Amino acid sequence: MSHKRIPKRQAAIAVGGVVALGAAAILLPNANASQDGGSSDAAVAPKTLKAGDASDLASQLAGLLGDSFAGSYYDGENKQLVVNVVPGDNNNVIVQAKKAGAAVREVDNSMTELEAGAQTLKAKATIPGTSWAVDPRTNKILVTADSTVTGEKWDQLESTVQSLGSGMATIKKSAGTFKTFVSGGDAIFAGGARCSLGFNVTASDGSPAFLTAGHCAAGGDQWSDAQGGQPIATVDQAVFPGNGDFALVKYDDPATQAPSDVNVGDQTVQISQAAEATVGQQVFRMGSTTGLADGQVLGLNATVNYPEGTVTGLIQTNVCAEPGDSGGSMFTQDGLAIGLTSGGSGDCTSGGETFFQPVTTALEAVGATLGEGGAGAGDQASGEEAGAGEQGAGDGQDAGAGQEAGGQDAGDGQDAGNGQEAGTGSELTETH
């Protein structure tokens, strides 16, 4: 059976009418801040930046400042990059950071100390149901424990955090349970599992393919666009658990066309390139269970201890998700591909944490490129698409971003059954 298009929906993410209306209202303005300082004080005054440009500047300053660099985050209210520096004998680093356009904040904990603390947690507190990531806004390690971490496990975690010393880490309790978001939704299917297509890409051999969550590959090697339908794509590479949660799935028909946009209802968001996440950045997630949701990036290089094993290198956010949203796209209002939904805790009623696989590292690992002739990890050309998946089977279910398993419920609770609705769509102008 030949597929010369992304089955049924041009590989775009579809959501319910209510979310579509909200998305249209917010995406149309799509206002972006000026990138230049625009005044003679630009050398010393923080520049007004878009989040994507702030991420680029943060990478440059990390190399420039060396050991003095202690992380950075995006101040969305003022549209500025805030860079943490550890003061020392050479105050020239602060001058350099200010000249580059960042707002500078002096802090106590260096990145070396924070990373050493994270290694101690890995060695002494790798407990299922825990996670940790450096939070540059507090200059501490944010340690999160889900509801299963009690008794001796809690005592072990707490004592390990205390051993790091005062002012190095904080512990947060989550009401939910850390699990991968697998459940019933309507996107792509393999055996009893259902997942969401994240972004369309071009494999290293030039064939059309897509990225999704690595834990989706446990459902089977061959994927279809309808439950019980003929396979249209085959898993080529997958990582989970370990150094990420991503899979490259190649379309069986080499003539399959994968457009570079995300369909959020009655309009599409053009995806221009893949980009690194920045703490404080506003992001949006599409899911077949919950539709469109938004929130902020809370931490980078997060370690999550799922029941199936430890996954490193993830993005921590306060974006809600539920089972059925796995594998789906995380992107920005101005069209940057940021992540693939991995797992977390909570739901879109009470909130929670959700972790994402960075798109840039997934592209680099599998050797794929994003968009038409685009460059690979982090330097992608015009657009790859968040195609979350195809239209689902039966019952008019739209393929959103969610993956899931016919009955198999992974996460704290997101279940999409057949024909899920985009329930909690958040509007793309505010952060909830």
Catalytic residues: 215, 245, 326
Give CA–CA dist 340/151, Å, rounded.
Answer: 33
Q: How far apart are CA 165 and CA 87, in angstroms?
A: 20
Q: What span, in angstroms and rounded, lies between the C-alpha atoms of 293 and 353?
A: 13
Spatial neighbors of 351 by CB under 8 A, at least 6 apart, are 318, 320
What percent of the residues of the chain are helix, what percent strand, and what percent coil, each to the nearest 5?
20, 30, 50
Residue 406: how many CB atoms within 10 A of its CB? 18
Q: Is 13 strand, coil or helix?
A: coil
Q: Which two tokens stand for residue 71?
A: 């992380």
The pair of structure tokens assigned to 10 is 């041009």
- Tokens 């790859």 identify what position? 384
HSE at residue 170, side-chain half, CA atoms within 13 A, is 11
Kindly state the tokens that stand for 301.
């290089």
The Cα 113–Cα 134 span in angstroms is 11
SS3 state of residue 387:
coil
Phi-psi region of 154 (alpha: psi -120 to 50; beta: other; left: phi over 0): alpha
Partners of residue 208 on adjacent β-strands = 202
CB atoms within 10 A of CB 230: 12
Q: Strand 193-195 relative to strand 188-190: parallel, antiparallel, unpaired?
A: antiparallel
Residue with tokens 């919950």: 290
Which residues neighbour 202 within 8 Å (Cβ) at sequence distance 6 or greater?
208, 209, 368, 369, 370, 371, 372, 373, 374
Residue 305 in tokens: 């201890």
Count of residues in the chain: 432
Q: How many CA atoms lie within 13 A of 1 on its CB side?
A: 11
Residues linked to residue 134 through DSSP beta bridges, in sequence order: 141, 300
Rounded to whole angstroms, the Cα distance separating 153 from 397 reads: 41
